[in-house]
Structure 1
Amino acid sequence: MVRPYAVTRGRTGTAGQSFDLIAQITAQVPAGVEPPVGPEQAEILDLCRAGPLSVAEIAAEVDLPLGVVRVLLGDLLDASCIRVGRPVPPALLPDEQILREVINGLRAL
């Protein structure tokens, strides 16, 4: 077993990049090309090649603490190996009243 601080080389954060728990991560490494990453990052890339996963799902799948996964994802983003789908800010979501009216309208059909 490798200690989490050894996996991140003692780093506890990324340079200016924070990953939301529900941000969707997708691998964007061309097939046949091996990026210069460690074994933990390679495992993350393998998981994300099948389809987008949230940061929380990745942490659960690789069985590493969330902080460690965020540092590893920051490294992958810096190497242009992943694409991050940001969650929609709550201010841009539709109003709850509009959604209720849509649901009621659908029920009326």
Structure 2
Amino acid sequence: MDPLDYPSDVTEDEADEETYAVRPYAVTGGRTRTTTNEPLPVEALVQSLRGHDDIGLTPERRKILELTRDQYLSVAELSAHVKLPVGIMRVLISDMSDSGNVRIHGAGAFSSTTAPATSLSVLESVLNGISSL
């Protein structure tokens, strides 16, 4: 962005920080929950469904499709790759699943009475996956 577009008392770095703070909110249209209000586990795997156009999709959604076209990635891994908070990624993936762009593996296996992410082995596995990025 051209520095002339900023007010005189705002530096380019400050403007970038402000844009980042607003952007995730704009990506989901202000929503913080999935359409079903069920939390999507961070370890749930996402698979792109081939044959769907990515025309008209936001850059974040196109990136999710690109990343999961040839491999399964967890919600946490996608969050790191796309550089968006996990909460925002959960909403995006849920919406993409509802529209038939992606398939989520492992999300339906958990109920609200179980807490799979509290298992130490699951947390270590997710942490190892994120660290390998």
TM-score, structure 2 normalization: 0.60
Identify the residue that residue 79 of structure 1 maps to in structure 2: 99
2:71 pairs with 1:51: yes
Which 10-residue stretch deviates more, 67-76 or 10-19? 10-19
- In 2: Cα distance, 1:35 partner to 1:52 partner: 22
- In 2: Cα distance, 1:35 partner to 1:14 partner: 23
Identify the residue that residue 19 of structure 1 maps to in structure 2: 40
2:87 aligned residue (57, 67, 78): 67
Which sections of structure 1, spanning at least 5 residues, go unmatched? 91-109
- In 1: Cα distance, 2:54 partner to 2:35 partner: 24
Task: Give the partner amino acid of 1:19.
Answer: L
Identity %: 37
- In 2: Cα distance, 1:34 partner to 1:68 partner: 19
Q: Which has the higher contact order (CA 8 A, sep 6+)?
A: 1
2:50 pairs with 1:29: yes
Shift of 1:35: 5.1
Matched-pair contact (CA < 8 Å) for 1:29–1:35:
no
Shift of 1:58: 0.4
Matched residue count: 89
Identify the residue that residue 104 of structure 1 maps to in structure 2: none
Task: Give the partner amino acid of 1:26.
Answer: Q
Deviations 1:44-96 (A, max 9, x none): 11000021001100001111000110111011011101011106668xxxxxx
With over 3 angstroms needed to count, the CA separation of the structure-2 counterparts of 1:82 and 1:37, relative to structure 1, is same
Task: Give the partner amino acid of 2:91.
Answer: V
Task: Give the partner amino acid of 2:27.
Answer: V
Matched-pair contact (CA < 8 Å) for 1:44–1:62:
yes
